[in-house]
Structure 1
Amino acid sequence: MLARLRLFCHRPGIRLVAPAPVPRYAASLVKYSPSLSPLSSSSSPLRRVVSSTPPSPIMSATVTVTEPPRITAENVATLFPDVDTSLAREVLPTAATNPSATQGADELAGYDEEQVRLMEEVCIVLDDDDKPIGSASKKTCHLMTNIDRGLLHRAFSVFLFDSNNRLLLQQRASEKITFPDMWTNTCCSHPLGIPGETGAQLDAAVLGVKRAAQRKLEQELGIKPEQVPIDKFEFFTRIHYKAPSDGKWGEHEIDYILFIQADVDLDVNPNEARDTCYVSATELKQMFEKPGLKFTPWFKLICNSMLFEWWGHLGSPSLEPYKNEQEIRRM
Protein backbone atom coordinates (compact mmCIF):
# COMPACT_ATOMS: atom_id res chain seq x y z
CA MET A 1 0.00 0.00 0.00
CA LEU A 2 2.86 2.39 0.89
CA ALA A 3 4.63 1.62 -2.42
CA ARG A 4 1.45 2.38 -4.35
CA LEU A 5 1.05 5.68 -2.47
CA ARG A 6 4.65 6.72 -3.28
CA LEU A 7 4.14 5.80 -6.93
CA PHE A 8 0.94 7.82 -7.02
CA CYS A 9 2.58 10.84 -5.40
CA HIS A 10 5.37 10.89 -8.05
CA ARG A 11 2.90 11.40 -10.84
CA PRO A 12 2.92 14.88 -12.43
CA GLY A 13 0.81 17.45 -10.52
CA ILE A 14 0.58 15.39 -7.34
CA ARG A 15 2.39 16.65 -4.20
CA LEU A 16 2.30 15.03 -0.76
CA VAL A 17 1.81 17.61 1.98
CA ALA A 18 2.62 16.75 5.61
CA PRO A 19 -0.32 17.28 7.97
CA ALA A 20 -0.18 20.35 10.21
CA PRO A 21 0.72 19.55 13.82
CA VAL A 22 -2.28 19.39 16.15
CA PRO A 23 -2.01 22.02 18.91
CA ARG A 24 -1.54 20.61 22.38
CA TYR A 25 -3.20 22.26 25.36
CA ALA A 26 -1.77 22.23 28.86
CA ALA A 27 -3.91 23.17 31.86
CA SER A 28 -2.22 24.71 34.85
CA LEU A 29 -3.36 23.40 38.21
CA VAL A 30 -5.54 25.76 40.25
CA LYS A 31 -4.79 25.22 43.92
CA TYR A 32 -7.70 25.54 46.31
CA SER A 33 -7.73 25.70 50.08
CA PRO A 34 -7.39 22.24 51.66
CA SER A 35 -10.59 22.88 53.59
CA LEU A 36 -12.49 23.40 50.36
CA SER A 37 -11.14 20.85 47.90
CA PRO A 38 -9.29 17.53 48.01
CA LEU A 39 -7.51 18.50 44.79
CA SER A 40 -5.07 20.68 46.71
CA SER A 41 -3.78 17.72 48.67
CA SER A 42 -0.34 16.55 47.62
CA SER A 43 -1.57 12.98 48.04
CA SER A 44 -4.43 13.39 45.61
CA PRO A 45 -3.92 11.19 42.51
CA LEU A 46 -5.76 13.72 40.37
CA ARG A 47 -3.46 16.49 41.53
CA ARG A 48 -0.37 14.45 40.61
CA VAL A 49 -1.71 13.69 37.13
CA VAL A 50 -2.57 17.29 36.37
CA SER A 51 0.68 18.65 37.81
CA SER A 52 2.80 16.19 35.82
CA THR A 53 1.57 17.50 32.45
CA PRO A 54 4.38 19.71 31.06
CA PRO A 55 3.33 23.09 29.69
CA SER A 56 3.06 23.06 25.90
CA PRO A 57 5.39 25.45 24.06
CA ILE A 58 2.63 25.85 21.49
CA MET A 59 -0.38 26.82 23.59
CA SER A 60 -1.10 26.94 27.34
CA ALA A 61 -3.81 28.35 29.59
CA THR A 62 -3.27 29.59 33.14
CA VAL A 63 -6.03 30.26 35.66
CA THR A 64 -5.25 32.19 38.83
CA VAL A 65 -7.48 32.15 41.88
CA THR A 66 -6.79 34.74 44.57
CA GLU A 67 -8.10 33.87 48.00
CA PRO A 68 -8.12 36.16 51.04
CA PRO A 69 -5.46 35.26 53.59
CA ARG A 70 -6.45 33.20 56.59
CA ILE A 71 -7.33 35.59 59.43
CA THR A 72 -5.25 35.02 62.56
CA ALA A 73 -4.46 36.84 65.78
CA GLU A 74 -1.12 37.82 64.25
CA ASN A 75 -2.42 39.46 61.05
CA VAL A 76 -5.92 40.67 61.90
CA ALA A 77 -4.78 44.15 62.96
CA THR A 78 -2.80 44.60 59.76
CA LEU A 79 -5.63 43.41 57.53
CA PHE A 80 -8.39 45.21 59.44
CA PRO A 81 -7.22 48.35 61.28
CA ASP A 82 -10.74 48.80 62.72
CA VAL A 83 -10.37 45.59 64.75
CA ASP A 84 -9.31 46.07 68.37
CA THR A 85 -6.73 43.40 69.21
CA SER A 86 -6.41 44.13 72.91
CA LEU A 87 -8.01 40.76 73.62
CA ALA A 88 -5.62 39.05 76.02
CA ARG A 89 -8.03 37.28 78.37
CA GLU A 90 -11.60 36.01 78.28
CA VAL A 91 -13.01 39.54 78.47
CA LEU A 92 -13.04 41.73 75.38
CA PRO A 93 -13.08 45.54 75.44
CA THR A 94 -16.35 47.40 75.56
CA ALA A 95 -17.73 49.66 72.85
CA ALA A 96 -16.36 52.71 74.67
CA THR A 97 -12.79 51.57 74.01
CA ASN A 98 -13.36 50.16 70.54
CA PRO A 99 -11.86 52.44 67.86
CA SER A 100 -14.12 51.17 65.07
CA ALA A 101 -17.39 51.98 66.81
CA THR A 102 -17.66 55.55 65.54
CA GLN A 103 -15.78 55.32 62.25
CA GLY A 104 -17.44 55.31 58.82
CA ALA A 105 -20.59 57.18 59.82
CA ASP A 106 -21.36 57.99 56.18
CA GLU A 107 -21.98 54.30 55.50
CA LEU A 108 -24.92 54.44 57.93
CA ALA A 109 -26.44 57.66 56.63
CA GLY A 110 -30.18 57.42 56.03
CA TYR A 111 -30.86 54.39 58.21
CA ASP A 112 -33.07 54.20 61.30
CA GLU A 113 -31.50 56.02 64.26
CA GLU A 114 -31.90 53.15 66.73
CA GLN A 115 -30.55 50.58 64.29
CA VAL A 116 -27.56 52.85 63.61
CA ARG A 117 -26.91 53.00 67.35
CA LEU A 118 -26.98 49.21 67.56
CA MET A 119 -24.36 49.03 64.82
CA GLU A 120 -21.92 50.47 67.36
CA GLU A 121 -22.17 47.33 69.51
CA VAL A 122 -18.96 45.33 69.71
CA CYS A 123 -18.89 41.87 68.13
CA ILE A 124 -16.34 39.14 68.80
CA VAL A 125 -13.91 38.69 65.90
CA LEU A 126 -12.82 35.08 65.30
CA ASP A 127 -10.38 32.96 63.40
CA ASP A 128 -11.76 30.03 61.38
CA ASP A 129 -11.56 27.77 64.43
CA ASP A 130 -13.89 30.01 66.49
CA LYS A 131 -11.08 31.40 68.63
CA PRO A 132 -11.54 35.08 69.62
CA ILE A 133 -8.76 37.21 68.15
CA GLY A 134 -10.21 40.69 68.61
CA SER A 135 -13.34 42.81 68.60
CA ALA A 136 -14.95 45.22 66.16
CA SER A 137 -18.17 47.15 65.80
CA LYS A 138 -21.21 45.45 64.36
CA LYS A 139 -20.89 47.86 61.43
CA THR A 140 -17.32 46.79 60.70
CA CYS A 141 -18.22 43.11 60.90
CA HIS A 142 -21.18 43.42 58.52
CA LEU A 143 -19.63 45.47 55.71
CA MET A 144 -19.20 43.31 52.62
CA THR A 145 -15.85 44.99 51.90
CA ASN A 146 -14.57 43.38 55.12
CA ILE A 147 -16.50 40.12 54.74
CA ASP A 148 -15.06 39.52 51.28
CA ARG A 149 -11.60 39.79 52.83
CA GLY A 150 -12.40 37.17 55.46
CA LEU A 151 -13.53 39.08 58.56
CA LEU A 152 -15.50 36.64 60.73
CA HIS A 153 -17.52 37.08 63.94
CA ARG A 154 -19.56 35.05 66.45
CA ALA A 155 -23.36 34.85 66.39
CA PHE A 156 -26.27 32.77 67.67
CA SER A 157 -29.67 31.63 66.43
CA VAL A 158 -32.44 30.79 68.91
CA PHE A 159 -35.27 28.39 68.05
CA LEU A 160 -38.02 28.73 70.66
CA PHE A 161 -40.77 26.11 70.69
CA ASP A 162 -43.97 26.22 72.72
CA SER A 163 -45.45 23.25 74.61
CA ASN A 164 -47.22 22.18 71.40
CA ASN A 165 -43.87 21.89 69.59
CA ARG A 166 -44.62 24.94 67.44
CA LEU A 167 -41.69 27.16 66.46
CA LEU A 168 -41.89 30.91 67.07
CA LEU A 169 -40.87 32.89 63.98
CA GLN A 170 -40.31 36.60 63.58
CA GLN A 171 -40.39 38.83 60.53
CA ARG A 172 -37.54 41.30 60.76
CA ALA A 173 -38.53 44.96 60.89
CA SER A 174 -38.27 47.21 57.85
CA GLU A 175 -35.89 49.39 59.88
CA LYS A 176 -33.27 46.63 60.09
CA ILE A 177 -30.08 47.45 58.19
CA THR A 178 -29.38 43.85 57.22
CA PHE A 179 -32.02 41.48 55.81
CA PRO A 180 -35.05 43.75 56.48
CA ASP A 181 -38.59 42.33 56.22
CA MET A 182 -37.38 38.72 56.01
CA TRP A 183 -38.85 35.87 58.05
CA THR A 184 -36.44 34.04 60.29
CA ASN A 185 -36.12 31.95 63.44
CA THR A 186 -37.13 33.28 66.85
CA CYS A 187 -34.06 35.42 67.48
CA CYS A 188 -30.74 35.90 65.67
CA SER A 189 -28.02 38.15 67.02
CA HIS A 190 -24.50 38.30 68.47
CA PRO A 191 -22.81 37.84 71.82
CA LEU A 192 -20.99 41.05 72.58
CA GLY A 193 -17.43 41.77 73.62
CA ILE A 194 -18.51 42.31 77.22
CA PRO A 195 -17.94 40.33 80.43
CA GLY A 196 -20.18 37.28 80.56
CA GLU A 197 -20.75 36.87 76.82
CA THR A 198 -17.25 35.98 75.62
CA GLY A 199 -15.32 32.74 75.78
CA ALA A 200 -12.36 31.08 74.10
CA GLN A 201 -13.18 27.47 75.02
CA LEU A 202 -16.41 25.94 73.75
CA ASP A 203 -18.13 25.57 77.13
CA ALA A 204 -17.45 29.22 78.03
CA ALA A 205 -18.50 30.37 74.56
CA VAL A 206 -21.77 28.41 74.79
CA LEU A 207 -22.55 29.99 78.16
CA GLY A 208 -21.80 33.41 76.68
CA VAL A 209 -24.18 32.97 73.75
CA LYS A 210 -26.92 31.67 76.06
CA ARG A 211 -26.64 34.85 78.13
CA ALA A 212 -26.71 36.92 74.95
CA ALA A 213 -29.76 34.99 73.73
CA GLN A 214 -31.64 35.72 76.93
CA ARG A 215 -30.74 39.41 76.63
CA LYS A 216 -31.85 39.68 72.99
CA LEU A 217 -35.10 37.75 73.46
CA GLU A 218 -36.13 40.45 75.89
CA GLN A 219 -34.85 43.33 73.77
CA GLU A 220 -36.49 42.14 70.54
CA LEU A 221 -39.59 40.26 71.66
CA GLY A 222 -40.16 41.39 75.25
CA ILE A 223 -39.71 37.88 76.66
CA LYS A 224 -38.81 38.12 80.34
CA PRO A 225 -35.60 36.36 81.41
CA GLU A 226 -37.43 34.28 84.02
CA GLN A 227 -39.46 32.69 81.20
CA VAL A 228 -36.29 31.60 79.40
CA PRO A 229 -33.78 30.57 82.10
CA ILE A 230 -30.17 30.13 81.00
CA ASP A 231 -30.15 26.46 81.98
CA LYS A 232 -33.13 25.72 79.71
CA PHE A 233 -31.27 26.62 76.52
CA GLU A 234 -29.86 23.62 74.66
CA PHE A 235 -26.78 23.99 72.46
CA PHE A 236 -26.76 21.86 69.30
CA THR A 237 -24.01 22.88 66.91
CA ARG A 238 -22.15 25.71 65.18
CA ILE A 239 -22.38 26.62 61.51
CA HIS A 240 -19.87 28.71 59.57
CA TYR A 241 -21.54 30.51 56.69
CA LYS A 242 -21.34 33.68 54.59
CA ALA A 243 -24.26 35.49 52.97
CA PRO A 244 -24.69 38.94 51.38
CA SER A 245 -27.71 41.08 52.26
CA ASP A 246 -27.19 43.67 49.53
CA GLY A 247 -24.19 45.24 47.87
CA LYS A 248 -23.03 46.89 51.09
CA TRP A 249 -23.98 44.61 54.01
CA GLY A 250 -23.91 40.90 54.76
CA GLU A 251 -23.08 38.15 57.25
CA HIS A 252 -19.99 36.04 57.84
CA GLU A 253 -20.49 34.18 61.09
CA ILE A 254 -19.86 31.16 63.20
CA ASP A 255 -23.43 30.77 64.39
CA TYR A 256 -24.33 28.86 67.58
CA ILE A 257 -27.66 27.02 67.28
CA LEU A 258 -29.77 27.05 70.47
CA PHE A 259 -33.12 25.39 71.23
CA ILE A 260 -35.43 26.26 74.09
CA GLN A 261 -38.96 25.01 74.80
CA ALA A 262 -41.12 27.41 76.79
CA ASP A 263 -44.51 29.09 76.78
CA VAL A 264 -43.74 32.80 76.82
CA ASP A 265 -45.46 36.17 76.78
CA LEU A 266 -44.54 38.49 73.92
CA ASP A 267 -44.20 42.26 73.95
CA VAL A 268 -42.68 42.77 70.51
CA ASN A 269 -40.33 45.68 69.83
CA PRO A 270 -41.58 47.07 66.48
CA ASN A 271 -38.13 48.43 65.69
CA GLU A 272 -36.87 44.83 65.67
CA ALA A 273 -39.77 42.70 64.41
CA ARG A 274 -42.77 43.64 62.31
CA ASP A 275 -44.60 40.33 62.84
CA THR A 276 -44.43 37.00 64.68
CA CYS A 277 -46.18 33.65 64.37
CA TYR A 278 -46.04 30.10 65.69
CA VAL A 279 -45.80 27.32 63.10
CA SER A 280 -45.67 23.55 62.97
CA ALA A 281 -43.08 21.88 60.77
CA THR A 282 -45.72 21.32 58.10
CA GLU A 283 -46.82 24.95 58.21
CA LEU A 284 -43.23 26.17 57.90
CA LYS A 285 -42.70 24.02 54.82
CA GLN A 286 -45.86 25.53 53.35
CA MET A 287 -44.50 29.02 54.04
CA PHE A 288 -41.36 28.15 52.10
CA GLU A 289 -43.56 27.37 49.09
CA LYS A 290 -45.12 30.84 49.03
CA PRO A 291 -43.25 32.98 46.48
CA GLY A 292 -44.10 36.27 48.20
CA LEU A 293 -42.30 35.38 51.44
CA LYS A 294 -38.59 35.95 51.93
CA PHE A 295 -36.41 34.19 54.50
CA THR A 296 -32.98 34.92 55.92
CA PRO A 297 -30.22 32.80 54.36
CA TRP A 298 -29.02 31.30 57.65
CA PHE A 299 -32.56 30.21 58.52
CA LYS A 300 -32.99 28.46 55.18
CA LEU A 301 -29.58 26.79 55.57
CA ILE A 302 -30.43 25.48 59.03
CA CYS A 303 -33.89 24.31 57.97
CA ASN A 304 -32.68 22.54 54.83
CA SER A 305 -29.75 20.81 56.50
CA MET A 306 -30.83 19.90 60.03
CA LEU A 307 -33.84 21.63 61.62
CA PHE A 308 -36.64 19.40 60.39
CA GLU A 309 -34.75 16.26 61.43
CA TRP A 310 -34.20 17.66 64.94
CA TRP A 311 -37.76 18.92 65.15
CA GLY A 312 -39.08 15.41 64.65
CA HIS A 313 -37.36 14.34 67.88
CA LEU A 314 -38.40 17.36 69.96
CA GLY A 315 -39.52 16.37 73.46
CA SER A 316 -38.05 12.88 73.09
CA PRO A 317 -34.85 11.32 74.49
CA SER A 318 -33.95 10.60 70.87
CA LEU A 319 -33.04 14.30 70.51
CA GLU A 320 -30.07 13.95 72.87
CA PRO A 321 -27.51 12.62 70.33
CA TYR A 322 -27.92 15.79 68.27
CA LYS A 323 -26.85 18.12 71.09
CA ASN A 324 -23.43 19.53 71.98
CA GLU A 325 -21.75 18.85 68.66
CA GLN A 326 -18.05 19.65 68.86
CA GLU A 327 -17.23 20.16 65.20
CA ILE A 328 -18.09 23.32 63.27
CA ARG A 329 -20.32 22.69 60.27
CA ARG A 330 -19.00 24.55 57.22
CA MET A 331 -21.99 25.55 55.13
Structure 2
Amino acid sequence: MLVDDDGRALGTAPKTLVHGRETPLHLAFSSYVFDQEGRVLLTKRADHKITWPGVWTNSCCGHPLPEEPLDRAVVRRLSYELGLTAESVDLMLPTFAYRAVMANGIVEHELCPVYRVMVDSPVAPNPDEVGETCWMPWKEFAEGAQNGLLAISPWCREQVPLLTELGCDPLTWQPAAFSDLPPAARL
Protein backbone atom coordinates (compact mmCIF):
# COMPACT_ATOMS: atom_id res chain seq x y z
CA MET A 1 0.00 0.00 0.00
CA LEU A 2 1.51 3.29 -1.09
CA VAL A 3 1.04 6.18 1.35
CA ASP A 4 1.65 9.91 1.48
CA ASP A 5 3.72 11.71 4.14
CA ASP A 6 0.63 11.93 6.38
CA GLY A 7 0.01 8.18 6.22
CA ARG A 8 -2.98 8.32 3.90
CA ALA A 9 -3.39 5.57 1.31
CA LEU A 10 -2.53 6.49 -2.27
CA GLY A 11 -3.06 3.09 -3.88
CA THR A 12 -1.19 -0.17 -4.21
CA ALA A 13 1.77 -1.50 -6.15
CA PRO A 14 3.42 -4.94 -6.39
CA LYS A 15 6.24 -5.49 -3.89
CA THR A 16 8.66 -6.13 -6.75
CA LEU A 17 8.08 -2.59 -8.03
CA VAL A 18 8.51 -0.75 -4.73
CA HIS A 19 11.99 -1.87 -3.72
CA GLY A 20 14.48 -0.21 -6.02
CA ARG A 21 16.35 3.04 -6.47
CA GLU A 22 13.12 5.10 -6.48
CA THR A 23 11.21 3.34 -3.71
CA PRO A 24 7.98 5.19 -2.88
CA LEU A 25 6.78 5.49 0.72
CA HIS A 26 4.71 2.42 1.52
CA LEU A 27 3.08 0.73 4.50
CA ALA A 28 4.98 -2.01 6.31
CA PHE A 29 5.49 -3.27 9.87
CA SER A 30 8.29 -4.37 12.16
CA SER A 31 7.89 -6.78 15.05
CA TYR A 32 9.98 -7.73 18.04
CA VAL A 33 9.19 -11.20 19.38
CA PHE A 34 9.76 -11.86 23.08
CA ASP A 35 9.60 -14.96 25.22
CA GLN A 36 8.42 -15.08 28.83
CA GLU A 37 11.97 -14.36 30.04
CA GLY A 38 12.09 -11.06 28.16
CA ARG A 39 14.53 -12.29 25.53
CA VAL A 40 14.13 -10.87 22.04
CA LEU A 41 14.29 -13.04 18.93
CA LEU A 42 16.75 -11.71 16.37
CA THR A 43 16.84 -12.93 12.80
CA LYS A 44 19.47 -12.88 10.12
CA ARG A 45 17.90 -12.10 6.77
CA ALA A 46 18.32 -14.81 4.13
CA ASP A 47 21.30 -14.24 1.85
CA HIS A 48 19.13 -13.99 -1.28
CA LYS A 49 16.84 -11.18 0.02
CA ILE A 50 16.73 -8.07 -2.20
CA THR A 51 17.16 -5.66 0.71
CA TRP A 52 19.83 -6.13 3.35
CA PRO A 53 20.63 -9.80 2.62
CA GLY A 54 22.48 -11.59 5.39
CA VAL A 55 21.96 -8.75 7.88
CA TRP A 56 20.83 -9.27 11.48
CA THR A 57 17.63 -7.46 12.41
CA ASN A 58 14.54 -7.56 14.60
CA SER A 59 12.32 -10.63 14.61
CA CYS A 60 10.11 -10.09 11.57
CA CYS A 61 9.17 -7.36 9.11
CA GLY A 62 6.71 -7.35 6.27
CA HIS A 63 3.92 -5.70 4.33
CA PRO A 64 0.19 -6.04 4.81
CA LEU A 65 -1.93 -7.36 1.98
CA PRO A 66 -4.55 -4.96 0.61
CA GLU A 67 -7.31 -4.55 3.23
CA GLU A 68 -5.35 -6.60 5.80
CA PRO A 69 -5.08 -5.11 9.31
CA LEU A 70 -1.45 -4.71 10.37
CA ASP A 71 -1.75 -6.90 13.46
CA ARG A 72 -3.05 -9.75 11.25
CA ALA A 73 -0.17 -9.18 8.83
CA VAL A 74 2.24 -9.53 11.78
CA VAL A 75 0.63 -12.85 12.78
CA ARG A 76 0.65 -14.11 9.17
CA ARG A 77 4.32 -13.26 8.56
CA LEU A 78 5.48 -14.68 11.92
CA SER A 79 3.84 -17.96 11.05
CA TYR A 80 5.30 -18.01 7.52
CA GLU A 81 8.82 -16.79 8.32
CA LEU A 82 9.39 -18.32 11.75
CA GLY A 83 6.68 -20.94 12.32
CA LEU A 84 5.52 -19.00 15.38
CA THR A 85 2.06 -18.59 16.87
CA ALA A 86 1.60 -15.23 18.57
CA GLU A 87 0.11 -15.18 22.06
CA SER A 88 -0.28 -11.39 21.93
CA VAL A 89 0.45 -8.63 19.42
CA ASP A 90 0.76 -5.10 20.81
CA LEU A 91 1.31 -1.86 18.93
CA MET A 92 4.32 0.01 20.34
CA LEU A 93 5.48 2.65 17.83
CA PRO A 94 2.48 3.55 15.67
CA THR A 95 4.08 6.18 13.42
CA PHE A 96 7.65 4.97 12.94
CA ALA A 97 8.95 5.70 9.43
CA TYR A 98 12.39 5.50 7.85
CA ARG A 99 14.31 5.70 4.62
CA ALA A 100 17.53 3.74 4.15
CA VAL A 101 19.78 3.26 1.11
CA MET A 102 21.91 0.18 0.49
CA ALA A 103 25.40 0.48 -0.98
CA ASN A 104 24.02 -0.68 -4.36
CA GLY A 105 21.42 2.11 -4.37
CA ILE A 106 18.34 0.06 -3.45
CA VAL A 107 16.11 2.05 -1.11
CA GLU A 108 13.76 1.04 1.69
CA HIS A 109 11.20 3.78 2.38
CA GLU A 110 8.53 2.67 4.80
CA LEU A 111 5.86 3.89 7.16
CA CYS A 112 6.49 1.05 9.54
CA PRO A 113 4.52 0.72 12.80
CA VAL A 114 6.37 -1.43 15.34
CA TYR A 115 4.81 -4.28 17.34
CA ARG A 116 5.76 -6.33 20.40
CA VAL A 117 4.78 -9.98 20.08
CA MET A 118 4.78 -12.56 22.86
CA VAL A 119 5.31 -16.23 22.00
CA ASP A 120 5.71 -19.51 23.85
CA SER A 121 6.59 -21.89 21.04
CA PRO A 122 9.74 -23.09 19.29
CA VAL A 123 11.11 -21.22 16.29
CA ALA A 124 11.04 -22.99 12.91
CA PRO A 125 12.73 -20.57 10.45
CA ASN A 126 11.71 -20.60 6.81
CA PRO A 127 15.05 -20.62 4.87
CA ASP A 128 13.44 -18.58 2.07
CA GLU A 129 13.21 -15.70 4.56
CA VAL A 130 15.57 -16.32 7.47
CA GLY A 131 19.21 -17.45 7.53
CA GLU A 132 19.64 -17.75 11.31
CA THR A 133 17.90 -16.91 14.57
CA CYS A 134 19.18 -15.96 18.00
CA TRP A 135 17.47 -15.27 21.33
CA MET A 136 19.15 -12.48 23.31
CA PRO A 137 18.32 -10.72 26.58
CA TRP A 138 16.68 -7.39 25.67
CA LYS A 139 19.06 -5.31 27.79
CA GLU A 140 22.13 -6.87 26.16
CA PHE A 141 20.66 -6.42 22.68
CA ALA A 142 19.53 -2.83 23.26
CA GLU A 143 22.91 -1.79 24.68
CA GLY A 144 24.81 -3.48 21.85
CA ALA A 145 22.55 -1.95 19.20
CA GLN A 146 22.77 1.56 20.62
CA ASN A 147 26.52 1.42 21.22
CA GLY A 148 27.25 0.21 17.70
CA LEU A 149 28.56 -3.13 18.99
CA LEU A 150 26.03 -5.10 16.95
CA ALA A 151 25.77 -4.92 13.17
CA ILE A 152 22.01 -4.65 12.56
CA SER A 153 19.64 -3.35 9.90
CA PRO A 154 19.21 0.43 9.63
CA TRP A 155 15.53 0.34 10.64
CA CYS A 156 16.31 -1.76 13.69
CA ARG A 157 19.09 0.67 14.67
CA GLU A 158 16.54 3.53 14.60
CA GLN A 159 13.78 1.59 16.39
CA VAL A 160 15.75 0.32 19.39
CA PRO A 161 16.33 3.73 21.02
CA LEU A 162 12.63 4.53 20.63
CA LEU A 163 11.68 1.23 22.21
CA THR A 164 14.08 1.70 25.13
CA GLU A 165 12.32 4.99 25.87
CA LEU A 166 9.26 2.85 26.73
CA GLY A 167 11.13 1.32 29.68
CA CYS A 168 13.88 -1.14 30.50
CA ASP A 169 11.58 -4.19 30.66
CA PRO A 170 9.90 -4.94 27.31
CA LEU A 171 7.30 -7.11 29.03
CA THR A 172 5.91 -4.03 30.83
CA TRP A 173 5.83 -1.59 27.89
CA GLN A 174 2.43 0.07 27.57
CA PRO A 175 0.92 -0.42 24.11
CA ALA A 176 0.00 2.56 21.96
CA ALA A 177 -3.60 3.22 20.97
CA PHE A 178 -4.94 1.87 17.68
CA SER A 179 -6.17 5.40 16.94
CA ASP A 180 -2.50 6.56 16.88
CA LEU A 181 -1.84 4.55 13.72
CA PRO A 182 -1.61 6.48 10.43
CA PRO A 183 -4.93 6.53 8.53
CA ALA A 184 -3.88 3.89 5.97
CA ALA A 185 -3.09 1.44 8.78
CA ARG A 186 -6.43 1.80 10.60
CA LEU A 187 -8.36 -1.03 8.92
State the TM-score bracket (shorter-chain normalisation). Answer: 0.7 to 0.9
Unaligned runs of 5+ in 2: 183-187
The whole-number CA distance in structure 1 between the counterparts of 2:86 and 2:18 is: 28
Output aligned runs, 1:188-199, within 5 Å. Answer: 188-193=61-66, 195=67, 197=68
- Say whether residues 1:326 and 2:180 are aligned partners: yes
The whole-number CA distance in structure 1 between the counterparts of 2:169 and 2:105 is: 39
Of 292, 299, 309, the match for 2:156 = 299
SS in 1 for 2:52: coil
Of 229, 236, 239, the match for 2:96 = 239
Aligned to 1:228: 86
SS in 1 for 2:70: helix
Deviations 1:15-63 (A, max 9, x none): xxxxxxxxxxxxxxxxxxxxxxxxxxxxxxxxxxxxxxxxxxxxxxxxx
Of 156, 164, 172, the match for 1:308 = 164
* CA gap 1:186/1:311 in 2 versus in 1, 3 angstroms: farther
Return the structure number with greater helix share: 1
Aligned to 1:184: 57
Aligned to 2:185: none
Aligned to 1:251: 108
SS in 2 for 1:279: strand
Output aligned runs, 1:1-331, within 5 Å. Answer: 124-144=1-21, 146-147=22-23, 151-193=24-66, 195=67, 197=68, 208-223=69-84, 227-229=85-87, 232-236=88-92, 237-285=94-142, 287-288=144-145, 294-304=151-161, 306-316=162-172, 319-320=173-174, 323-324=176-177, 326=180
Return the structure number with greater strand share: 2
SS in 1 for 2:73: helix
Kindly provide the amino acid, as one letter, of the partner of residue 47 in structure 2. Answer: S
TM-score by length of 2: 0.86
Kindly provide the amino acid, as one letter, of the partner of residue 79 in structure 2. Answer: E
Aligned to 1:102: none
Unaligned runs of 5+ in 1: 1-123, 198-207
**Higher relative contact order, chain-length normalized (CA < 8 Å, sep 6+):** 2
Shift in Å at residue 219 of structure 1?
1.2
SS in 1 for 2:113: strand
Shift in Å at residue 258 of structure 1?
0.7
Q: % of aligned pairs identical?
A: 31
Kindly provide the amino acid, as one letter, of the partner of residue 326 in structure 1. Answer: D
Residues 281 and 308, structure 1, Cα contact 8 Å, conserved in 2: no
Shift in Å at residue 286 of structure 1?
5.7
Shift in Å at residue 309 of structure 1?
2.8
Q: Which has the larger radius of gyration?
A: 1
